[in-house]
Amino acid sequence: MKRLPVSTWEQAVSDQPFYAVVCQAGPCAAAADPLLRHLGAATRRCPHGVLIRTGCVLRASRCLRAPGHDSGAYALVQPCDLDRQPQGTAIGIGPVLSDADAAAVADWLAGGSLDAARLEPRLRFPSRPAR
């Protein structure tokens, strides 16, 4: 079996605790495979990282439509403390449209600084102000 290429996170290990939550609902389902592969490998190398597969994390209207289009995969990363208590705001990620996008997200995650500003702008999900 041919091993698929991975990114530089193979050398990086983050001690920053986090949850990475990947949507596998509707239109995200088919696009989530590269993201899950890269984030899974990165999370296994981070002693305090947890990867979660779930339904829609964004409550997006696009998830209510028939999944006939490729609009990428979406995820949320929630920094937390060693007791798994959330710290700060969850970071929205997406759309992740390609293997290269998934590798870039994994590099950012394993790099240890869960600062949204360090994630490539095209991969940042726009946040909405609180109501």
Angle, CA of 54, 104 and 35, to the nearest 5°: 25
Among residues 8, 24, 28, 19, which one has the least CA distance to residue 103? 8
Q: Tell me, rounded to whole angstroms, the distance of Cα 16 from its chain centroid.
A: 15
- State pTM to two decimals: 0.80
Element (H, E) at 74: strand 73-79
Position 126 pLDDT exceeds 80? no
Domain spans of the chain? 17-116
| Dihedral class, residue 65 (left if φ above 0, else alpha if ψ from -120 to 50, else beta) | beta
Contact present, 116 and 108 (Cβ < 8 Å) = no
Span 51-108, pLDDT tens digits: 999 988 776 666 655 444 457 899 999 999 999 999 999 999 999 999 999 999 999 9
Measure CA 21 to chain center: 6
Token digits of residue 29: 């389902």
Q: What is the CATH topology of the domain spanning 17-116?
A: Glutaredoxin (3.40.30)
Tens-digit pLDDT profile for residues 97-121? 999 999 999 999 988 889 999 999 9
